[in-house]
Structures are given as structure tokens and as C-alpha cells.
Structure 1
Amino acid sequence: MFSTKRAFAGVALATGAALALAGCAGGSESSGELDPDEEVTLDLAFWGNDVRADLYNQVIDAFEEEYPNITVNSTFLGYPEFWEKRQTEAAGGNLPDVMQFDYSYLRQYSENGLLLDLDQFLGGIIATDPLPDNILSIGVVGGTTYGIPTSTNAWGMYTNPTLLDEVGVDEFAGGSWDDYNDWMGEVADASGGEVFGGSDWTGRIQNFEVQLRSEGSYLFSDDGEAGFDEARLAEFWESGAGIREDGSVIAQQTLEEVAPLSGFGAALTVSELTWDNFGGGYLAELGEAYPELGLIAPPVTVEGAQDLYLKPSMLHSIAANTEYPEASATLVDFLINSEASGEIFGTNRGLPASETALAAAELDPLSQQIADYEASIADRLGDAPPVPINGYGTLEEKFRQLGTELGFGTITVDEAVSQFFGEMDVILG
């Protein structure tokens, strides 16, 4: 499926150079308390569409009613345009006071001194009781909190129960990656090659990460060190050779033909390993013929391992150049923790990370299914990995491209490994 974020990932390297020039902006000093008599005007920026803008306006109205001394001016853009605008503002040292933030850019902006240290507000202006420790830790870079998650998602497996009934195969009962491969083969056999169990899961770097985490390792450390060598990556890609060759998974050529739909969205596969917040898009693609989704945990590499984690759908951060740190922190707390934010936003920004906001949100059936799923994998949830290294988006896309070439058979596993490590050398220096 085409991703606007993926298309914009290539801009990250050029952006990093521009931000380096704007670095060391320094953080605003805070008294730790909001002055209720000081008249303040804050700028708030977010990405989204008219629907999200209307929701933000409603929340801002509720905020200004509670804090009549604070006026909030909001602006929004599409995702690529949002980051282009932030790059220009960062170079001039005039970022908006409060920003909706993406996990992929948190390290880049924080390490260049562009974001405010939020630790000074935690437990004070920004309430922490509604935010579990594993949620708060997501926004930490180098030991300092620079972002507060608005919402969370987790890696999972969507299935199509109606299509499985048509094929005559039961839902995947769980088990190892080999068990999953066998189940996908059963689907392909039962359908006579008309429907497939899934796609080649070795083309997604997240599945590699799940396996590494189960082994006590990681993709990349906080310092940008890889947690795997050439042999381990080769082993991972080799593990997909069987399903690529025996027809258990949908052919790469077919995926190209149905793009921008995925095989799952086109009802040609019965399962898809992906982030759990993709469900709404799948339902829209599948239409009335397939009105429900299954959502289950990914295959297990090592029993009892905490291989999964919650990551933020998005965060809120404060610019280091803000003149009003206390008021900005008050707005961030309201946008994340207030009952009003839960009631108004619902799941527009993802499943609310704050227990207060979540309790106030009216969940539709899919959102409730996602909430139940994330509760069901509690034993498999470990600490989130470090905030993505600079250039992670480029490496993720390279991994996907090499997976596509392996699917076409135009490259060997050894060649793919060599190319990926060559890319890592360039990105990581």
C-alpha cells in the first residue's frame, strides 16, 4: 500500500543537514507553574485533513473555556507539507509553540536542540498518572522526554474471517513462524491458488525486529549500532525462500498489479502482518463483501519473550524557542489527558494513550477490537526500542525494496544482504 510517509522518507537526509545548522537553539526556562493572569497566545501545528481540523477546533474551544487567558491559533497541512514547513521554521528558529509530532523525527529535532525538555513538567502541569511508564518512555531521547504520545499502536496480524470461510480454512491458531507458513500453504491449497495465506513476511523489517527482540537483541541501539550481523539477516531472508517458491504466498507480480491496494486489501490474501491501526483502511478497501476483520498476535519466535511493544501513532512536543513553556505544557496536557480530548477526538489520532482520555472516548467496534487486542498481548509487550535513529525511514524503505526484488527473484539473498549493509554504512556513517 502506498504511504505518504514512505514517499517523504527520502527528504529526511536533506532535512537533517538543514536542522543541524539550526541546532543548539536552547530550551526555555520554566517556573513550573502556569500564571492564570498572564495573557498568552500559542501557535499549534498538526498534520491531517478538514475532519481532524474540526476536531482540534472543538478541543481548542474547550481548552480556551477552561483557560480563558490562553488563546490558541492552530494551523494544519498534509503530512509531507507539514514537515517541509517545520524544516523552514527550524532553520529560522521559529517553530510553533506546540506541535503534533511524528516518532520518526523526534530524535532528529531533539538532538539539534529544537525541542523543549518536558521532564520539568511531568507529574506537575503534565499529569502522568493516566500515562503508564511504558507509554511515557516512548518519547525519551538520550534520557530526556521530548514528546508525549497521544495514542498507541502495536504490531499484529489482521485476518479476513469471511474469506477464510469461503476458502474453508480455520483461523490461524497461533504458533511459530513455521506454523504460520504451513497455514498459509493450507489456504493456497484449499483455494486452488485463487487465494493466498498472506504475503512474504520477510519483506517487512518489523517482522525481523520482532524476531530479534525475542532473541534479546534489537534493530538499532540508541547509538545507532545494529543488533544483527550479515549472517542473521541472511538467515531471516532465507527463511522466506520456501514460501516464495511453493506458492503459499501471493506472487510479487500480482502485488504490483493490484497496487496501490495490498494483497489483503484486494481480498487475495487472508492475512496481513502490520500495525494494528491499519484496520480502518482495510475495511474501506474490502467493502461490504468483507465486513469484519480478525486481529491476532504475530507468530512466536521464542515462547515467553517480550517481542512486541507499543509505539506512538503520534506525539505532542513543544518547541525549544517557545516564550510560554508553562502554557504550552498546559495545552499538551489538555490535548492528551483531558476527558474533552477523549470525547471529541475519539480514535481519530489512534487509540488514546491516556487512560483518562480512553475512558471518555466512544469506541467504534474496530477501535474496541484494537483495544482488546492490545490488552491481550500484555504479556508479550516489552519496553519500546530507542526512538528511531536518523535515517531509519530510508533503511526501512531499502529493506522493503530488497524484499520486493527477492520476491521477483531478481536478486539473491547474499546480494540483498550486501546491498542493505552498504546502505547502513552510508546512513549510519
Structure 2
Amino acid sequence: MTSIKRFRTALAALLLAGGLTACGGGDDAGGDVTLRFSWWGNADRAALMQQSIDLFQAAHPTITVTPSFQEFEAYWQKMATETAGGNAPDVLQMDFAYLREYADRNVLLDLKKTGVKVDDLIPAFQGVGEVNGALYGIPTGGNTWCMFYNPKLLTEAGVEEPRTGITWDQYHALLDTVSKKGAGRTYGGSNYRSVIYSFESYLLQAGATLYTGGGKLGFSKQQLIDYWTVGKQYIDDGRFIPSEKVAQIEPASPITKDLIATEFRWDNFFARYASETEAELKIGPVPVTTAGGPTGQYLKPAMLLSASARTDHPDEAAKLISFLINDPQVGRIFGSNRGIPATNAQRDAAVLEGPALAIAEYEEAIAPLLQKAPPAPPKGAGTIEAAFLRIADEISYGRSSVPDAVDTFFTEAEDTLAG
């Protein structure tokens, strides 16, 4: 029985009966304070956030929270404008991809200098949000890289379901068997080697990283040549679904159309994929280079909470952040909306069902195998991710050789990081 199942009934009763909170209550010292709080999301998340804010204000009656939200792209445009003008909100939602950029601009508060409570974060999230020793963001939840698979297609091909510890050699044999059995109708998988996060798993298993702590590429040209060469080989021998077939069904994933048996994605995609297909899908492990070796998996923050370096109310901002990541009622309100919760108290309180429960149980099962999250990516990481996919596609379509594609990628990536 998972901890989520074990505690759900008891904690739900406590929450309903006694209004249990993790961050205390009662009046706050000093006069009334207003905090501006900005985050991204839609109307559904806005309703959940307002419920959580109402609980916080009830526990801290001298603090008023003024919320503001936008869709993701509009949110970051607004943040760029407000931080440049010295008018950032007191508390703001932060994306892991932007954390280092905003930290390097000195617009975020070092939360280690406040009373923010982080002692209940699950082990995989301890220290996540730090840049150069300062704590600039606290994760609200997270996800990990994993394999989705269709057990029916595997069974039809006479292949066992993948288990923890499966090696890349065994996985590549699975691809070959399923694709040959599929005879052009179904395939073992798609070209995972065109996705930068699969490459990151490969690097982490080898003791390397995508980026150094100093914001440079953390791997060599030869490592990428070797990686993309294998991808090209599997395109040519038919283990991967042809890129043309993938393009015909976009934006749908081929696994939701029963065209492939496996696909690598962040586990929070599982709920969406499961809703887009009649087939049963399951979550499986990332293959390893050596049996018993490192998985290259870590928990990536779905989002973080940060505070402005210019806030006039750092202690109150820390109280709001602490409440939103620790309070069990908040965990129960949000469930998996912000990713599987980052603290033990909220994980135990969250009522998770269907795909969300499957994700939570998967993360719990692999928790002992997770590695520490790599440093926050440098500015321009999103541009580099897109370039990786675009240039790998040039190989897939036969428009570029692997060595030329690697040279192009390094030129673009290094220019982006230098800019």
C-alpha cells in the first residue's frame, strides 16, 4: 500500500473535522501587510489558488494577498517587464528553466535568509531551487522522465513488459521485435534520440550533464555524435516509426494512436495521453546503460515559488510560500494540478485517482533510484532544446549527416549561451 493510500482516509477526516494546517495560525505580529502574488495558469487553477489563499488569510488575518495570473507566455512577458522596472510581485511562481536567469539578474530573494519551511520536502527536492548556494525557489511539485508503454502491443509482439533495470540493449531488442512484428503498421517506438531530455538521461547515466554549473555545455561533440549515430541507425533499420508518419498525426502522439508501443516523456504527460486513447497505457522505467547502474532520472520541479529581492515584506512572503508548499489542506485542494506535491504532508493529504495516482505510485516506487537534480539550466536552455529537436529531425529526414548536424548544434548552442 502506498503512503498516499495509507494516509488518505485518516487525513481527510482530520482535515474536514479540525481544519488541520501545517504552518500554524493566529494573528501575525506587526501591522497589516498586503502581498502581491503572481502566477501562471488557467481559470481552473485560479479557483484552486483562491481557495488556498483564503485558507492562508484565515490563518494569517493581518496579511492580505492580492493574486494575479496569466497564461504562461503572457505571464513571462509581464515578469520581464515588472522585474526590469523594479516592480516585481512580492511572491511569484517560477519555472525551473528561468530560475538561473532570474537569479543571475539579482531579482530574487535568497529564501535561506527568511523563515521559509523546507524541512518536509521529499529527499529528491532537498536543495532544488538553489543557485550558487542561495535558495531562490521552492518546488510545489514535480515530475520525472519515464517510459510510457502499451502492454497490449507488447503482448501481441511476444515481448514482456519493461521492468526496472532493463538495459538499453534490451530495450533496443524490444524495439526491433515489436517493429518487425508490426510489419509497417506498428513500431517499437519513436526516435527518442531527437529529444534532449532522453540525451540528458544518457549523460547522467555516464556521469555527465547537459550543462555545467557555469552555464556551458557539459558534454563533448563525440558524445553527441555517438548518440545521434545510433538514432540514425534505428531510423534506417525500421525500429523507429518514420518521421513522416509522426508528422501526419501531429499534434497527437503516436502512442495514443496505437502506432508505437513505447514513448519517453515527463510523467505528468500521462494523464493527457491516457485521456486521448482507448488503449491501456502504463508507466515504465528509463532503461540503464549497465544493469544496476544509475538511471539518470531525477525529479524536475513542475513549478517553484520565489520571492522578489525588493519585497518590503520578506517574512510574510516566506509565510505564504511555506503555507502553499506545506499545508495539507492546500495539498488536498490542488491534488496533482501543480504536479505530485513536493512535501510529505501534501502528498499524504492529496486525493489522487486514475492517472494521477498511477504517476504518484510510479514516483514512489522509483524514489530510491532517483538522482539529485542537475543545476538549474542557464538562460537560453529553451532555445537549445528546440534546436536539438530541429537539428535531429534534419538527420531523420536525411537532410544532414550526423557530424554536420552536431557541428550545427554546437555552433547554435554555444552562440545562445554566449548571448
CA drift of 1:100 comes to 1.2
Match of 2:223 in 1: 232
CA drift of 1:380 comes to 2.5
Instruction: Report if aligned partners of 2:324, 2:330 keep a CA contact under 8 Å in 1.
Output: yes
Q: Deviations over 1:98-137 (max 9, x none)?
A: 111100111111111110010123xxx3222211354131
Q: Deviations over 1:140-191 (max 9, x none)?
A: 0111000000001111101122444455543234522222121112112222
**For 1:368, which of 347, 351, 357 is the aligned residue?**
357
Distance 1:268 1:348 in 2: 29
Q: Which structure 1 segments of 5+ residues have no match? A: 1-33
Instruction: Report if aligned partners of 1:131, 1:355 keep a CA contact under 8 Å in 2.
Output: yes
Q: Deviations over 1:225-259 (max 9, x none)?
A: 32221111100101112210111111001111111
Over aligned residue pairs, what C-alpha RMSD do you find?
1.6
Is 1:342 the counterpart of 2:367 in the alignment?
no
**For 1:148, which of 121, 138, 145 is the aligned residue?**
138
Is 1:297 the counterpart of 2:288 in the alignment?
no
Instruction: Report if aligned partners of 2:28, 2:61 keep a CA contact under 8 Å in 1.
Output: no
Q: Which structure 2 segments of 5+ residues have no match? A: 1-26
Instruction: Report if aligned partners of 2:146, 2:266 keep a CA contact under 8 Å in 1.
Output: yes
Instruction: Report if aligned partners of 1:219, 1:226 keep a CA contact under 8 Å in 2.
Output: yes
Secondary structure of 1:249 counterpart: coil
Is 1:204 the counterpart of 2:192 in the alignment?
no
CA drift of 1:73 comes to 1.1
Q: Deviations over 1:272-316 (max 9, x none)?
A: 111111101101221xx22x3211111111332252111100000
Amino acid at match of 1:296: G
Is 1:48 the counterpart of 2:61 in the alignment?
no
Distance 1:236 1:126 in 2: 42
Amino acid at match of 1:295: I
Is 1:115 the counterpart of 2:108 in the alignment?
yes
Match of 1:20 in 2: none
Distance 2:198 2:61 in 1: 48
Distance 2:308 2:258 in 1: 44
Match of 1:263 in 2: 254
Instruction: Report if aligned partners of 1:101, 1:314 keep a CA contact under 8 Å in 2.
Output: yes
Is 1:417 the counterpart of 2:406 in the alignment?
yes
Instruction: Report if aligned partners of 1:341, 1:357 keep a CA contact under 8 Å in 2.
Output: yes
Instruction: Report if aligned partners of 1:169, 1:190 keep a CA contact under 8 Å in 2.
Output: no
**For 1:217, which of 195, 198, 208 is the aligned residue?**
208
Amino acid at match of 1:283: A
Distance 1:378 1:423 in 2: 36
Match of 1:38 in 2: 31
Amino acid at match of 2:40: W
When the two structures are superposed, what TM-score results if normalisation uses the length of structure 1? 0.87
Alignment identity in percent?
Answer: 39
Q: Deviations over 1:359-412 (max 9, x none)?
A: 111011322221221222234311110100111111111111112111111111
Distance 1:306 1:185 in 2: 22
Amino acid at match of 1:307: G
Amino acid at match of 1:177: W
Match of 1:25 in 2: none
Is 1:354 the counterpart of 2:343 in the alignment?
yes
Secondary structure of 2:352 counterpart: coil
Is 1:252 the counterpart of 2:274 in the alignment?
no
- Pick which of 403-412 and 34-43 moved more: 34-43
